Amino acid sequence: MSFIKRNKYTIIVVIVFVLLIFIGAKAMELFFPNSGKAIYGDRLDGIEEVEIKDSKMEQVLAEMKEDPIISDISQITRGKLVTFSIVVNDDVTIDAAKPLADKAIASFEDDQKSYYDFQVMISKNNKELTDFPIIGYKHHDSSGFSWTKDRAGASE
């Protein structure tokens, strides 16, 4: 008992310090709930089995660049979303541009098509044209692309 009486201030400081550490840990948990967890959670489970290799993507881009109506194409993959950005010639119509989306994913295997979501953004060099850009999106469960309807002349 005499030890506690002699060191009461030290004991109080230690208890307050431990409480502050505990409160700080709870505050971090409250303000930063996802720290240390994967950004996509478990949505990317199984991606290793259907991974799209860089060589496959380069092959797809090379095939697409051969099309005479395409002036430029690029691609980016983030998680399960594969996005193609295609620039077509100024004289291309919407109906002629939409099949480019199906052509872009034609080389992928069926299991890749059923795992990944695909997005195709088609634009023209002339930014003043009102019917472009158009955006097509294919969910991994759907069989075809859904297209934007907010542009003049866009049709299903």
pTM assigned to the model = 0.67
Residues 6+ apart with CB under 8 A from 148: 134, 135, 136, 154
Same domain, 11 and 88: no
Structural domains of the chain, count: 2
CA distance 91 to 74: 20
Range of the domain at 61: 54-147
Same domain, 77 and 137: yes
CATH (domain of 108): 3.30.300
Tens-digit pLDDT profile for residues 103-150 = 988 888 888 888 999 999 999 888 777 778 889 999 988 888 888 865
**74 part of a folded domain:** yes
Residues 6+ apart with CB under 8 A from 46: 115
Tens-digit pLDDT profile for residues 41-84 = 677 777 888 888 888 889 989 988 898 888 899 999 988 899 99
In the chain, the DSSP E strands lie at: 70-78, 81-88, 117-124, 134-138, 146-147
The answer to whether 110 and 129 have CB atoms below 8 angstroms apart is no
CB atoms within 10 A of CB 73: 21
Whether the upstream peptide bond of residue 99 has omega within 30° of 0, thus cis, is no
